[in-house]
Amino acid sequence: LHEMDDILGKWSCEIGGTYMPKTYLTIQNKINNWKVSNEDVWIISFPKTGTTWTQEMVWLILNDLNYKGARKNLLKRSPQIEATALVRYPHIKFFKPFIPQAITDSLKYVKNLKHPACIKSHLPWNLLPEAIQKDVQRPKIIYISRNPKDTCVSYYYFSKLIKDFDGTLDEFCNLFLRGKINYAPYWDHVLPFWKRRNEENILFLKYEELKQDLPGVIDRVAIFLGKNLSQEQIYTLADHLSFDNMKNNTAVNYDWLVKLSSKYKADKNSSFMRTGKVGDYKNVMSEEMIERFDKWTKEHTKGTGLDF
């Protein structure tokens, strides 16, 4: 265990090579020894890569397009297994009575879900349950990725929104590149799943593909989940999953989190569903930072075939 002296260092530390909330240590063993069911679907990602978008798609396909059931908050339909570890800030503690058990006691909540469950996680490969890592159990895993510049910008605005970070975008970019934000280093997260993308139980998606051809991705996900969807069903689902519809859908738009944060004077105009664009980084990142990201990307993806 190596403690950091960074801005987030008060709350986070390195665990197995990953920068994590310190509170993760209290549940690490439980997740490591998790009884994994082959019936479940795990949606795994680095934060801010389109996780919520993917969760809503996967939950609906898995639950035979039950739009009525999808009115229940996504947090409860597709809980984040390690969420308990994230409830660590004083203001979040203060509001604990308003936070559902799916977050405050995520392990218990996930354990009690009916199968096939739709489990969300930002854990990197080497912090996943041993049963998955050792190939003892093979649940379906859908990994969603996004180009690192847009991911970083989205992460920055989200961190500001939840009052997790108080610095400039440039400072945040530096922490991102140095792997000193929760769930980083970014490439250590993405590449192990990219390497396993051809395994039968793993589907590797890119945010940019969802933006370019959402019906095509829905079709691929349905086939992966063993479900048959008609063209009409695919287009209806694509419409449900459009940025504008998701932005207005309180079951998925984290309205409650925004409201909760604004009590602590977070920017009133910020929103979880921010721009939903590819290449938005160009509007806010400096030329120099873009160059640094591109060089860093080139170094880490060399010979891997991964490209956004």
Query: Which residues of the chain form contacts with ligand A3P (CB under 6 A)?
Result: 45, 47-53, 150, 154, 157, 241, 243, 246, 273-276, 280
Smallest distance from ligand A3P to CB 246, Å: 4
* Cis before 192? omega within 30: no
Helices 231-240 and 51-62, axial angle in degrees (round to 10): 140
Backbone angles phi, psi at 235, to 5 degrees: -70, -35
Smallest distance from ligand A3P to CB 203, Å: 16
Taking residue 189's Cβ as centre, other Cβ atoms within 10 Å add up to 25
Q: By C-beta, is 40 or 150 nearer to ligand A3P?
A: 150
Q: By C-beta, is 120 or 140 nearer to ligand A3P?
A: 120
> Could you say which of 2, 91, 115, 122 is catalytic?
122
Chain centre distance of CA 242: 18
Of 36, 23, 173, 46, whose CA–CA distance to 103 is shortest? 23
Q: By C-beta, is 127 or 273 nearer to ligand A3P?
A: 273
Smallest distance from ligand A3P to CB 179, Å: 18
Q: By C-beta, is 53 or 204 nearer to ligand A3P?
A: 53
Smallest distance from ligand A3P to CB 283, Å: 11
Smallest distance from ligand A3P to CB 1, Å: 27
Specify whether 122 is catalytic: yes
Q: By C-beta, is 102 or 131 nearer to ligand A3P?
A: 102
By annotation, the residues acting in catalysis are 122
